Amino acid sequence: PDLEPSIPPNKGGGKSSGSSSSSSSSSKKKASLKSHSAPDLEDQEEEMTVDSGLAEVDAALSSRVVVHETLHARLALVDHSKNSDKYYILQVLVDGKKKKIKKGGSASKTGLDYYLFTRWGRTGTGGQCNLEGPFVGGENHAEKGFSNLFKSKTGVEWAKAVRGAPPKTGKYEYLESVSKGDKDASWYYYLTLDPFGKADGWYEYDKNNADEVESLYLQYVASKHVARLSARFIHSTSSGYTYKVNLGDLTQTNTNSGKARPIKRTTTGKPPS
């Protein structure tokens, strides 16, 4: 029976490796994330926001680094035949320590440290993350580690990568850059025949789930509504359920029970009429 009217909160998960296999860094740190906050897209583009998972590995570093101006990417691997949806985030981070640096990593390269941060897992989970650095060879070695890892995941040379290009079979897609979100955006699901007796009607997603779906929706819009990204799968390790969220026909389906519900996005601050 379908006993879950909405997508459950995000929890940690994932088992795959995120190392760039570079020997040029002085240290490596890995962590499994118990939770994850979706990116705040009202502030800036998603990829230019230091991923929240970094704070779980090194809170002090997270508070002072910025994302490199060009060395960052968000990838997705969606397999509709298996109800599978995975993400991979790569960011080269620039640490000026006591030197003031701007967003985008612009500053004199003297005294800067470079790190490679990655986070990966099933969409809807915190997944796992890996931090390498500071790189002994500085920016060049950080870029090499980034480029090697990007190619291993996408099958494409970083120098030749094109955002939004169809992915190679079995490989990750290099997603389009996501624009700023709408601060008034909200997501609702339509509940009927609730086993716990709730009245039929529109109910708002909790913040974590709304932010997750909003992020996927913005990716879909940025792709110019490409069919392969119209349906995404959000997994919950707390319930064990995976939900198919169809951003084209606006439905949410529990892949275990097959129960489908209408969903809607509003920017009015009010439930759908």
> pTM value?
0.82
CA proximity to 94, closest of 85, 83, 86, 102: 102
Each residue's pLDDT expressed in tens, for the chain with a length of 273 residues: 333 444 444 333 333 345 555 444 457 776 666 555 544 444 445 568 899 999 999 999 999 999 999 999 999 999 999 999 999 999 999 998 745 555 555 444 568 999 999 999 999 999 999 999 999 999 999 999 999 999 999 999 999 999 999 999 999 999 999 877 788 899 999 999 888 899 999 999 888 888 889 999 999 999 999 999 999 999 876 677 899 999 999 999 999 999 999 999 999 988 898
pLDDT tens digits, residue range 72-108?
999 999 999 999 999 999 999 999 874 555 555 544 4
Between the two ends of the chain, the Cα-to-Cα distance in Å is 28
CA proximity to 181, closest of 220, 129, 150, 148: 220
Place of tokens 């680094």: 65
Instruction: Report d(CA 253, CA 245) in Å as an integer.
Output: 7
Cα angle 257-261-262, degrees, rounded to a multiple of 5: 160
How confident is the model at residue 109, as a pLDDT? Answer: 56
Q: Residue 68: enclosing H or E segment and its boundaries?
A: strand 66-79
CA proximity to 92, closest of 136, 53, 48, 28: 48
pLDDT tens digits, residue range 133-153?
999 999 999 999 999 999 999
Instruction: Report d(CA 54, CA 62) in Å as an integer.
Output: 6
Instruction: Report d(CA 3, CA 10) in Å as an integer.
Output: 17
Instruction: Report d(CA 33, CA 263) in Å as an integer.
Output: 28
Instruction: Report d(CA 266, CA 117) in Å as an integer.
Output: 34
β-pair partners for 96: none
Alpha helices (runs of H) in the chain, residue ranges in sequence order: 54-57, 59-62, 138-154, 207-222
How confident is the model at residue 208, as a pLDDT? Answer: 81
